[in-house]
Each structure stands twice: as structure tokens, then as C-alpha cells.
A and B are shown apart, each in its own frame.
Chain A
Amino acid sequence: MGHFRMSSTRLAHRPVGVPRAARGRHRRLAWAVTSTAAASMFVAPAAVAETAVPAPAASPSSGTPAAIDLGTLGGTSGSATAVNDRGQAVGFSTLAGEAATHAFSWTAKRGMVDLAPSAAVGASLSQ
């Protein structure tokens, strides 16, 4: 379960065993988790084996769309928040040095453009 990223505290509050079992598609997973299990204790071998089998709808296949990296404005954290029908995306990103967060616009032609290039510091967020 090396890929497991959910925090243990979060899960510890979630005794998914009983209630989730009532919800159809969750049944398999529900049995993999006991109400007292910490995140590191998903060890019931049979249950792990079951949940490790990718479900058809979720399995990456040839139909999985490619993720296109839009990058950042120079920092290490960027996020696109909206896209219009022309395929133009907007969002926000940290700049190099991580001191500021700026809104950006992205188009296939021009790539990522800082909406407030003159603002050395400060933040801007776009909708």
C-alpha cells in the first residue's frame, strides 16, 4: 500500500466498515477497513488483494486521456481553476522563490501568461 496518501488521522475518524458496506459499490472496500484500523493497518491480506484489483471503470486503459502539463509561473505550485469553451485555462501559481502567487492565463499558442507581471510580490487569484 505504498501509494496510500490519505492521512492516518483522517482515516482514523472514519469507521467505514459498517455504514459503507450498505452502499453497493463500496462493499468490497468496506471490508478492507475496520473501524479501529489506523492507516498503516490495512493488512487483511484477502481484503487488500481485492481492493488492489482495478475496477473496470477506474482502470487506466488506452482510453485514459493524456495529462498535459501546463507548468507553473516559475514556482513549485500551480493550479488551473477554470477553462472556457475556447480551451483557454486560468488559475494561479507561485513565482520562482515562492514569495508570490499570481493569476495566470494559458492558451495553446502563448502558454502560461502572468496576469500581473509587474507585481513583484503580492497575490492574485482568478475566476
Chain B
Amino acid sequence: MNDRGQVVGFSTLAGEAATHAFSWTAKRGMVDLGTLGGMSSSAAAINESGQVVGGSSTAGDAATHAFLWTAKGGMVDLGTLGGTGSSAAAINDRSEVAGGSSIAGDAGGGHAFSWTAADGMVDLGALPDFAGGRGFSVAVAVNERGQVVGRSATARFHGTHAVSWTGGSGLVDLGALPLDVFSEAVALNADGQVVGNSAGPFSEHGFSWTAAGGMVEVTEPGSLESNAAAVNDRGQVVGSSRGLSFNHAFVWTAGGGMVDLGNLGGSFGEAAAINDRGVVVGRSATTGDAATHAVMWTVSSKREEDRTDDRHGGDGPSGTDERATPES
């Protein structure tokens, strides 16, 4: 969904034989975005200009390809990195697309890609993998700087690590929390703060990563397990945390730690997203666990002091206020 209220997704068609990507607005309702010639398509993201990306089956349902859809041009095939299939996961307001694609010979699990109209699909590479092969990576998000995040297979214990790609630094291994083997990035903000999850034989916890501070565990006293789901441009991370006596949605900042968001009276809550004004959404069990409802929380967004360690330095209160303006 973008800030203009355009929503994208996918829906089964009448008869349930196929699924098509859609775009929806309150005025025009649901618009079928079609396919690249095959039976099914699915939209993954939309930017502020209304450009939609996702994946669609191609003619004869031979493969799934990443697509870019615009109201004017319809659905355009973004191609692959030389293999059979691809799928797009994210698009920023500069029309930079990120996703994953199989590579020549369909070797390994494929590579993350970025795509621009000027350069087409570019292979972002992968970490050296255990077999000395061509590795595996996939991208899940891109910010307005063109920084892409995702995960890549590692040589160690057949794991995966969260990774970040920038034009300047190339592929950066974000590592994992101590003792963990698996990590993945799920989201990032305009400043390059990355959030995701890290897991090992013993537990799984959310993390927050910055270039300056490295990877920090997103947790609280008593948490046996946590998951980070999203981060906004103020550095507020949301997700869910579970311990012996609680199972709740949280908002977390580097300086303020984790705060319980409360729930609707039931035994669990989960936060899925947060906007730049501190509005959080997710789901929560209701009283007696009779049902699970969509839920919204509004948290204070005046926690800028938490971000001074990884901000462009020296910005006082006036500088932080300016950043309240949504950039997208």
C-alpha cells in the first residue's frame, strides 16, 4: 500500500482456478492487473507513483517472471538473470525493483537482483556457499537510496545470513547473533537501518543492524523468542516477543529498548508494520481467545534520542524534527 491509499495483492478469480494480482483504490475498487500470459500473478509491492511489482506466470505457464505494472503500460516482463524464473519483491519511489531470480543453468537457488529501466536486471551476487558453487541469495526490500536487503546462503553450517547491497559497498554480510546460524533481513528504513531475525539451535530473536553499530538483539528481559517485522524512518522496530508469562506485540528502539504494546484481552499479540507517525498495526487475540482481530496501536514517535548513534551525527532536536516529514 502506498500513501495515496492504493493497495495491491492477489486474489482468486471466479471459479478459483487462478490467482491474479490486483490494485485497489477506494474510488475505483479492485482492478485486475492481468498476467504475463500465464494463469496466475501476484503483486508484492507498490510505490508512491502507483507502479506495482510482483511475479506472474508466463505464456504456457512455463515459468514465473518478475513484472512491473503501470497504469499506462500494463504488465511488463522484467526478465531473469539467465535462468528460468524470477520474482520481484519490492520497488522504491525511484522505480528501483528488487527480488530474486534463477541464474544461468538454473544453478543453485538463484541470486538477488536489482532492476532499473536504465540497467535492466543486475545480479547482486551471493556469499560464498558451502559447495563452492555460485551461492544463493534473494532480496526482499529496497529503500530510497537504492540499498537492497535480503539473505544469502553461507558456507558455515549450511546457514543463511542477512545481507545488504549498496552501490558503494557491494554485498555486505550482516552476520548473525552469537551462536546463531540463520539470519535474514526483512525490512530497512531510509537511513539504512536493517531489521530481521536470527536463529540458531537454541532460539530465534529479532535484530536491528546499522553500519555504525552492527547487529543488536531486539529483545527484553524474559524473552525466549522474538521476531522483528518492520522498522520506520525513526528507528522504531515492531514485532512480537514471547516469554514464560507473556506473548505480546512490541515497539523497540536502540535507546529505549522494548515496550509492550498490550493486546485485546487475549493471550497474544503481534505487530506487523509501523508508519513514520508511530501508528502500528498487527493482530491480537481477543478476550478468552475467542477470536483474532486486526489491531492498531499509536506509539510516541518522539524517541529521536535513541537514534543519535547511527544518525548523520550532530543533529539536535530541530534536526530530528525535520526528519518527521515523510520522505516517500
Chain A interfacial positions (CB closer than 8 Å to B): 1, 3-6, 11, 14-16, 19-20, 22-23, 25-26, 28-29, 32-33, 42, 48, 51-52, 55, 57-60, 63-72, 76-91, 93, 103-106, 110, 112-113, 115-116, 119, 121-127
Q: Flag whether B116 is at the interface (Cβ < 8 A).
A: no
Which B-chain residue is minimally distant from A48 (CB atoms)? B244
Residues of B within 8 Å of A23, CB to CB, are 178, 217
Given A51-B243, A58-B258, A83-B275, decide whether A90 and B202 contact each other with a Cβ distance below 8 A. no
Least CB distance, B299 to chain A, in whole angstroms: 5
C-beta contact mask, B24-48 vs A, less than 8 Å → 1, else 0?
1010011000000000000111100
Asked if A127 and B202 make an inter-chain contact with CB atoms under 8 angstroms apart, the answer reads no
With a 10 A CB-CB cut-off, give which of A3, A80, A125 has the most chain B CB atoms: A80
C-beta contact mask, B242-259 vs A, less than 8 Å → 1, else 0?
111111000000001111
Q: Flag whether B286 is at the interface (Cβ < 8 A).
A: yes
Q: Flag whether B283 is at the interface (Cβ < 8 A).
A: yes
Query: Considering the chains assembled together, what is the distance between the CA atoms of A125 and B272 in angstroms?
Result: 14
Query: Considering the chains assembled together, what is the distance between the CA atoms of A84 and B3 in angstroms?
Result: 5
C-beta contact mask, B202-231 vs A, less than 8 Å → 1, else 0?
110000000000000101111111000000
Query: Considering the chains assembled together, what is the distance between the CA atoms of A84 and B44 in angstroms?
Result: 15
Query: Considering the chains assembled together, what is the distance between the CA atoms of A121 and B14 in angstroms?
Result: 8
User: Which stretch from B5-13, B63-71, B153-161 is at the chain A interface?
Assistant: B5-13
User: Which stretch from B98-106, B120-128, B144-152, B261-269 is at the chain A interface?
Assistant: B261-269
A-B contact pairs, 24 of them (CB 8 A): A5-B267, A6-B242, A14-B224, A29-B243, A29-B244, A33-B224, A59-B260, A66-B262, A67-B263, A68-B298, A70-B295, A81-B273, A81-B281, A82-B281, A87-B275, A88-B1, A89-B294, A90-B7, A110-B26, A115-B7, A122-B14, A124-B11, A125-B10, A127-B46
Asked if A127 and B7 make an inter-chain contact with CB atoms under 8 angstroms apart, the answer reads yes
Residues of B within 8 Å of A70, CB to CB, are 281, 293-296
- The number of A-B residue pairs with CB atoms under 8 Å apart is 243
Which B-chain residue is minimally distant from A47 (CB atoms)? B244
Q: Flag whether B107 is at the interface (Cβ < 8 A).
A: no
Residues of B within 8 Å of A91, CB to CB, are 272, 281, 283, 294
Given contacts A16-B224, A67-B269, A83-B280, 16 further A-B contacts (CB under 8 A): A3-B267, A29-B221, A51-B243, A64-B260, A68-B295, A68-B298, A69-B284, A80-B282, A83-B1, A85-B277, A86-B3, A91-B283, A112-B294, A115-B22, A116-B30, A126-B9
Q: Flag whether B326 is at the interface (Cβ < 8 A).
A: yes
Given A67-B262, A72-B291, A80-B294, decide whether A58 and B222 contact each other with a Cβ distance below 8 A. yes
Q: Flag whether B274 is at the interface (Cβ < 8 A).
A: yes
Residues of B within 8 Å of A105, CB to CB, are 5, 7, 24, 26
Asked if A82 and B242 make an inter-chain contact with CB atoms under 8 angstroms apart, the answer reads no
Which A-chain residue is minimally distant from B53 (CB atoms)? A127
Query: Considering the chains assembled together, what is the distance between the CA atoms of A23 and B224 in angstroms?
Result: 12
Least CB distance, A51 to chain B, in whole angstroms: 5
Query: Considering the chains assembled together, what is the distance between the CA atoms of A82 and B281 in angstroms?
Result: 7
Asked if B284 and A119 make an inter-chain contact with CB atoms under 8 angstroms apart, the answer reads no
Residues of A within 8 Å of B223, CB to CB, are 26, 29
Asked if A63 and B259 make an inter-chain contact with CB atoms under 8 angstroms apart, the answer reads yes
Residues of A within 8 Å of B308, CB to CB, are none
Asked if B275 and A84 make an inter-chain contact with CB atoms under 8 angstroms apart, the answer reads yes
Asked if A80 and B247 make an inter-chain contact with CB atoms under 8 angstroms apart, the answer reads no
Asked if B222 and A76 make an inter-chain contact with CB atoms under 8 angstroms apart, the answer reads no
Given A58-B222, A126-B8, decide whether A66 and B297 contact each other with a Cβ distance below 8 A. yes
- Please report which residues of chain B, range 288-307, place their CB below 8 angstroms from some CB of chain A when the two chains form the complex: 290-300
With a 10 A CB-CB cut-off, give which of A58, A77, A93 has the most chain B CB atoms: A58
Residues of A within 8 Å of B280, CB to CB, are 65, 83
Which B-chain residue is minimally distant from A100 (CB atoms)? B12
Residues of B within 8 Å of A106, CB to CB, are 294, 296
With a 10 A CB-CB cut-off, give which of B12, B244, B284 has the most chain A CB atoms: B244
Asked if A103 and B281 make an inter-chain contact with CB atoms under 8 angstroms apart, the answer reads no
Least CB distance, A87 to chain B, in whole angstroms: 5
